[in-house]
Structure 1
Amino acid sequence: MRRTLLFGLLAEPPPNVIADHDSPAPVYEQVHVPHAFGGTMSRASRPGHPGPTAVIVIAPDERTAEIVIEGRRQVVSGQAPKDTRRAALDVATGHAARIGGPVLIDARDANGYWRLVATPDGVVRAADPPPPGPAPNTTPPVPAKAGGGRKRVFVIVGAVVLALALIGGVGAVVLRFLPDSTTTASEAGEDEPTSDGPILDHPAPPGYATTVEITEELAPDTLPGVSGDGENLVYIDPAERLNLLNADGSREWSVNLPFEAAEVLGSPRFVEYDGAPHVAIETAGALWFWPATGGNAGNIELREAASAQYAGSGVLVRGDDSAYVPIDGELEEIDTPGGSGAMLAEDGRALAGVLRGPWHWVAPDEDPRKVEPEEPEGAGDLDSIMTFIRGYAIVLWEMEEGDDLLLAFHDNTDGSVLGTAEVDPDDLEDVRHRTGPLGSELAAYGPVLFEPGSGETTVLPGFEPEIAIGERIFGELDGTRVAVDASGETVEVPEDAETPRGLLGDRAVVVREDHLYAIPPE
């Protein structure tokens, strides 16, 4: 499958699409086409190009770009010039894929105009020269800042394009619009941009800057999903396409939803299904799964009374008095030991627990495997099983001495003790059997903070945790929104700041007014 160099980056054709293997048509000179850049221009087509036209305007600082297609305006941004250009081209190629035909691109930055074509298979190439006709009144390129002394007009030579394509093994190369392919601003004696990128128009959560490194528009009333390891983010765009980004913000794939975005219950989630990572979306009538690596979606019908739960790495489906796990396109019923209930799913099996006593791992057509919780040091009798979350069983033990209780984090696969905290029973009164936020660096159950790496715990009475983000847990303390670290030190969250929904790489992902923003640490 051929990959195409877009603004200096390799872009994969969308999944399940055969890439065009024809060589790019030579373009012997740059053609300047007059249009009102900076406005809201959009043309339905051009002579020789029956498809719509996308107008791309790169801002002078090369951190943002405006795209107008068929009267619809969109603004994208990037941390670096190549990221901005890539994001702009993603919009054009996405539109081409949706309409099933090519999109002509009129692109402009501070140095000139470029005419490109985006094809439905994700390829962007130089546009063929237009049919002969009267020479248009060309608008000269915007010159660089005063002091450069000359305007740069770049010539795209077909032979060079073809040679670069053969050397690089790519389908098409467009010179100069690639940010690293010609003289840089500093080499031309120009001042380099001082801005680090677009800025949030509201406060950032504690520990993060207001600089926006990645932003995407969301379908109305939808939310993105972020993988627990921070490697991927998935969201639904206004065109009702499901998109997966990697930790760098690059789009790995984009597919049309087989249902309307308004039917989605909750947000997309990353789960394990049939031994591989998938993106799961629940609707009223079905569970849908997309391989995280890209590919066709599969679905499993849900009965009216069924509901999906995501406390484990897999999906547990409850219906009436039964529990099921999805396996190979079917819901397989779990036969839980007497008196126990299924709590979470993982690897095609379910964890079944009781209020007091051992728990069991149960898989279809297999005997249950019992797990006895290890007794922590200083503990007396087991008081109760509080809850189960991914990787953990949280168990409350009586103390050998005193009236306090011992809250223990156990490995839910073998029952071993991972960490303990002495707590006042009153501090757990409003927590009881809720699940708690779980991160790779910090987890919480009610007022108890737990570091998985060290096993250390801290108790912060009155704290109500919401979500674990890196080295902090966001929640409420005495009615005030706060972010808490492992030591229990709190930082108040600004009144108008959004609580992060996860980490993409080291960037916090926040959502505001149907847009997601990924912002870096301070």
Structure 2
Amino acid sequence: MAEKIPSWPKVTIRLYDDHNAEVKIAGRSHPVNHHDPRQAAIQLVSERAAQLGRAVKATAVESDGASWPLIIHPDGQVEAIEADSGRGRNGGQKPIWPIIVAMVVGCVLVIGTILFVAVIKPNLHKKPTVTASPLLPSLPAPQVTPDEFPPGNVPPGFTTHAGWTVNIAENTSPAIKPDGTEVAILTADGKVAVFDANGKVLWQDEVPNDAESPVYTTIDGKLVLAVATQDTLIYWAGGGAEPKKIGLPDGAKVQFFGKSPLITLSGTGGAMVMSGGELKAVPNQPRLSTILLAEGDRALMSQYHGPLFWSAPDKPLQKVIPQKPGGAITDKPQQVLAASPDYALAIWQTKDPEKVIPTVHSTASGKVVAVCQPASATDVQSWDWVPDPNRRMAAWGECLINLATPGTVRIQDFHPLSITSPFIYGTIGSKLYAVTPGKPQHLLDPAPVRPWGIAGNHAIIVFASVLYALNPVPR
């Protein structure tokens, strides 16, 4: 039978440990993280076989190097091919792959028969009923009360009265939905809790003790609330629906610099993105490039002098060339420094060897979005990039950018800290200022607690592990 099965596509299943494996199908890598990586890998290959409408040949490689030629059918059945007198590299030991899968298939058949006789057959003629998605359990709500905040520490435009307050877990920060309609926190008793702008609890769920601060992000085209732990990415679609949990490879880290989560792998320097509800490796990384962030199922990468690249599973690499700004003397940036959603930062050489042109580029087209005044290359290397989540403004060190115009203003010795519309908060010397590009500067003395964002008409601030939703100054 094996002789009648085409050798294409070439399939290799490589087992790394008790939780991690890799499936390569026609040269494309599919990482597997599962409590039973053998079963998960075979399921993945059988799905490919089902697409082809026939069985496929595969080579299974154990963590000790022992390998076994297999035939995997669309229904998940696995056969071992006799090779080298039936011996693998481990000296004739029986392959475990067909045994495990045979047990699984056998159990499925038995359970399926029982279900058909006991459940399905008696209900064949009943009308179908609509069932709702599973919802989160009801949990004790955190205490939410109004309170007063000390005068003198209030951000401009807001009062000392907090319409609502709630305790949050120590050393965590809130997340504010981009449209300002929700606020998410980690509570002191190990829950994620989501409130509307007026402090009403919308839903809650329990999270592991090592859960990090919540983040609003995009997965598979939908805005979700996500929490990362040491070994799991958890995300909720909202509305009280149960979360999805994705196991992470050992040592992996989740970062949310882009519009979507990017999972960076330890040791290898590679990364993974979310696609179709599962982790997929970022392919085709050019030599000497750095992976910067994720947007949907693709990752943004850059070489030192450019260009930029977008890489997505099962798609060709897309190159983005930064456009040369006026005054630059070379066709390539001197250096691509960083990136954030929609924007990449680069510096360009000028006729003056001590000056560079800091330029903001579109990551979609490479076009120039904003050009800052020439500055010392050494100074620019130390500038912080602080973008507005709503894309209205940004600050790149001393360069303040109105993204709507676009236009730039230079404020000597300005160090941006955060943006909460309509202000860019930063320091000049030891003093805190609130600045809007093109408008007068506001000295804030004494310095207020800087808001995390605006929810409804409330400024969300955190002080001593308490979230305060401050009311605006009456007009």
What TM-score, normalized by structure 1, do the two folds share? 0.59
Q: Find 1:76's aligned residue among 140, 145, 167.
A: 145
Question: Helix, strand or coil for the counterpart of 1:428?
Answer: helix
Pairing 1:512–2:460 present: no
Aligned to 1:264: 211
Contact (CA 8 Å) 1:458, 1:488: kept in 2 or not? no
- Tell me the secondary structure at the aligned position of residue 375 of structure 1: coil
Aligned equivalent of 2:450: 499
Matched residues in 2 for 1:515 and 1:14: separation? 34
Picking from 334, 339, 343, the partner of 1:383 is 334
Following the alignment from structure 2 to structure 1, what is the Cα–Cα distance between the partners of residues 299 and 240? 27
**1:326 equivalenced with 2:274 (yes/no):** yes
Alpha-carbon distance, 1:383 to partner: 1.9
Matched, 1:282 2:228: yes
Alpha-carbon distance in structure 2 between the residues aligned to 1:14 and 1:485: 46
Secondary structure (helix, strand or coil) at the match of 2:249 reads coil
Question: In structure 1, what residue type is equivalent to 2:356?
Answer: L
- In 2, the alpha carbon distance for the partners of 1:499 and 1:18 equals 35
Aligned residue identity for 1:16? L
After superposition, where does 1:48-87 map in structure 2 within 5 Å? 74=143, 76-77=145-146
Work out whether 1:213 is the aligned partner of 2:163.
yes
Provide the residue aligned with 1:416 in structure 2. Answer: 367
Match for residue 255 of structure 1? Answer: 204
Counterpart AA for 2:271: A
Corresponding residue for 2:321? Answer: 372
Per the TM alignment, residue 294 of structure 1 is displaced from its structure 2 partner at its CA by: 3.6
Structure 1 letter corresponding to 2:438:
S
- Tell me if structure 1 keeps the 8 A contact 2:305–2:335: yes
1:82-140: CA deviations, max 9, x gaps?
xxxxxxxxxxxxxxxxxxxxxxxxxxxxxxxxxxxxxxxxxxxxxxxxxxxxxxxxxxx
Match of 1:353 in 2: 302
Instruction: Report SS of the residue matched to 1:314.
Output: coil
Could you say what secondary structure the match of 1:211 adopts?
strand
User: For 1:332 and 1:514, how far apart are their aligned partners in 2?
Assistant: 37
Are 2:305 and 1:305 equivalent residues in the alignment? no
Q: Does 1:473 align with 2:424?
A: yes
Instruction: Decide whether the 8 Å contact of 2:166 with 2:468 is kept in 1.
Output: yes
Structure 1 equivalent of residue 83 of structure 2: none
> Structure 1 237/284 Cα, relative in aligned 2: closer, same or farther at 3 Å?
same
2:135 aligns with one of 16, 27, 36: 16
Measured after TM superposition, the shift of residue 313 of structure 1 is 0.6
Change (3 A) 1:224 1:391: same
Between the aligned partners of 2:455 and 2:464, the Cα distance in structure 1 is 19
**Which segments of 5 or more consecutive residues in structure 2 lack a partner in the other structure?**
1-131
- Report the Cα offset of residue 498 of structure 1: 1.5
Number of equivalent positions? 334
1:338 is aligned to: 287
Taking a change above 3 Å as real, the CA distance of residues 268 and 73 of structure 1, as seen in their structure-2 partners, is closer
The residue number in structure 2 matching 1:132 is: none
Give SS of 1:508's match. Answer: strand
* Matched position secondary structure for 1:284: coil
Q: Distance in 1 between matches of 2:136 and 2:448?
A: 41
- 3-state DSSP of counterpart to 1:295: coil
Amino acid at match of 1:210: T
Show CA shifts across 1:466-518 (max 9, x none): 21110211232223333222137433334463221122134321011221112
Map of 1:407 onto structure 2:
358
User: What's the CA shift for 1:232?
Assistant: 2.2
- Partner of 1:422, secondary structure, is coil
Q: Give the partner amino acid of 1:370.
A: K
Structure 1 unmatched ranges of 5 or more: 1-12, 20-68, 78-197
